[in-house]
Amino acid sequence: MEKLPPGVSDRAAEMSPELRERVEQRAYVLWEADGRPDGRALDYWLQAEQEFVTQSIAGEEDPLAGIDQEPS
């Protein structure tokens, strides 16, 4: 997957190291599952980030806990 655009890199730098790593891992999984298309790093990063926000808003005790599981 290509490098993230500067704006996303700045946002990622503000995350905790654990959250950033989890978002990176999830974005990579999404990218691979989609056939590794070029030029879509931002799309996958934002999708992965949104999954964490959605879980956090849903009130999960640990929003990182469910990320290792495949979506249903």
DSSP 4-68: PPHHHHHHHHHS-HHHHHHHHHHHHHHHHHTT--TT-HHHHHHHHHHHHHHHHHTT-S-TTTTTT
pLDDT tens digit at each of 72 positions of the chain? 667 666 677 777 788 888 888 898 999 999 999 999 998 888 999 999 888 877 766 565 555 555 555 555
Query: Which DSSP symbol is given to 26?
Result: H
pTM summary value: 0.68
